[in-house]
Amino acid sequence: MSIVQSLSGRVAIVTGGARGIGLSIVEELHRHGASVVIADSGVSIAGADPDPSVAAAIAAKLGANTVAFCEDLTIAGAAERTVQSAVKAFGAIDIVINNAAILRDSFIFRASRENWDQVIATNLSVPFALLAAATPLMREQQKNGRAPGRIVNIVSSAGLFGNFGQAAYASAKAGLVGLTRVVAMDMSRSRVTCNAIAPFAATRVTESIQPANDAQSAYKQRALQIPAHYVARLATFLSSNAHDLTGQLFGVRGRELLLFSQPRPVARTLMSAGADWDEAALARAIDGELTAGMTDLSTDLEFFNTEPIV
Ligand X SMILES: NC(=O)c1ccc[n+]([C@@H]2O[C@H](COP(=O)([O-])OP(=O)(O)OC[C@H]3O[C@@H](n4cnc5c(N)ncnc54)[C@H](O)[C@@H]3O)[C@@H](O)[C@H]2O)c1
**Which residues are part of the catalytic machinery?**
156, 169, 173
**Interface mask toward ligand X for 14-53; x: CB under 6 A:** -xx-xxxxx-----------------xxxx-x-x------
| Distance in Å, CB of 170 to ligand X, minimum | 10
User: How far apart are the C-alpha atoms of 140 and 150, rounded to whole Å?
Assistant: 14
Ramachandran area for residue 259 (φ above 0: left; ψ -120 to 50: alpha; else beta): beta
Q: Pattern 106-145, binding to ligand X, x per CB under 6 A?
A: ----------------x-----------------------
- CB neighbour list of residue 107: distance below 8 Å, 6 or more residues apart: 164, 165
- Find the binder of ligand X among 57, 72, 248, 285 (CB under 6 A): 72
DSSP for 274-292?
Answer: T----HHHHHHHIIIIIHH
3 state DSSP class of 73: coil
Query: Of the candidates 12, 76, 23, which has an alpha carbon nearest to the alpha carbon of residue 205?
Result: 23
Neighbours of 218 (CB within 10 A): 14
The interface region with ligand X, picked from 70-78, 86-94, 181-189, 289-297 by CB under 6 A, is 70-78
Query: Among residue numbers 80 through 109, which ones bind ligand X (CB under 6 A)?
Result: 99-102
CB of 43 to ligand X, least distance (A): 4
Binding site for ligand X (CB under 6 A): 15-16, 18-22, 40-43, 45, 47, 72-74, 99-102, 122, 154, 156, 199-201, 203-206, 223
